[in-house]
Amino acid sequence: MQFKNNYPIILASASPRRQELLASLGFPFDVIPSKKMEPDPKDFYSPIAYVTETAEQKAREVADAHPGHIVIGADTIVVWENEVLLKPANAEEARNYLEKLSGHMHNVVTAVAVIDGKKSMPFYERTEVTFRDLPASWISGYVATEDPYDKAGGYGIQTAGKLFVEKIYGDYNNVVGLPISRLAHLLDSCGYISVKGGEEG
């Protein structure tokens, strides 16, 4: 099943994973990453408030510069015991993240903001991920690669990080970086996209 876009659509994200997921719906879109600096999670009363506001800010910045377009902004965080784990800045932080997550359950939260002019339609999706107990050699080997450093929580479930996962509860694609099923339903319900060949007659 493929979709067509009924309005010009912009993805305000440089993430290749989000681009791949959105492209799977089959319609063309432009990629214009937001240059907005992400706020500090400590300035927010909850991880959900932080990630929702960050997605909104990214989408709004691009939407203000491109009137007449539907703009999709997104942000993903890992939450461990109410602590927000962003992209690790260095090997020490990546190792620290993985040691915290080892043998425990954490939440991956992706917030999405769809903006149509002045109207914003934000939502978030939460997925529970449980890690196996990770051998120290696995953590060291993974940290030595480039994989942890552009991913919230320091791992990618679609790459070698999948070997850390014992189970997940919720949307897998949400952990990758975009809850594409929920987003597609929203875009379709608003008339921004429609199924190719799906017209009733």
SS3 139: helix
**Which residues are catalytically annotated?**
75
How far is residue 94 from each of residues 10, 61, 85, 103, measured CA to CA in Å?
31, 30, 10, 16
Could you tell me the sign of the dihedral formed by the alpha carbons of 89, 91, 96, 101, in that order? positive
Strands (E), 27-185: 30-31, 70-80, 83-85, 105-116, 119-131, 165-169
3-state SS assignment for residue 124: strand
Residue with tokens 């949307």: 171
